[in-house]
Amino acid sequence: MTARVCVLYFAKSAELTGLKEEEVAAVPTPISSRDLWNLLLQRHPRLQTLQDRVVLAVRQQYVAIGDQVAVTLGDRDEVAVVPPLSGG
């Protein structure tokens, strides 16, 4: 089974991809957060610089990339790439 999801890029991830959002078709589901991250890396290799410092949010719920828990995605679900935020 696959899903068509909307990926939202914030802060440094938007800068690295040149996108604020994109639709990604045929995402396997269920999928582990690590496999989902790897899928995004295939599309945007420059995201590699955020490895180990980024989390994903699936349907507004944070999911650590190291988690091997399967995430079930549905069509039009939102997946956000949330890099570390800086500021004062």
5-58 confidence digits (pLDDT tens) = 999 999 999 999 999 999 999 999 999 999 999 999 999 999 999 988 999 999
* The pLDDT value given to residue 82: 94
Q: Residue 86: CB partners within 8 Å, gap ≥ 6?
A: none
* The pLDDT value given to residue 88: 47
3-state secondary structure of 29: coil
* Residue extents of the structural domains in the chain: 2-82
* The pLDDT value given to residue 20: 98
CATH of 2-82, one of 3.40.50.1260, 3.10.20.30, 3.40.50.300, 3.40.109.10: 3.10.20.30
* The pLDDT value given to residue 68: 78
User: Is 90 exceeded by the pLDDT of residue 64?
Assistant: no
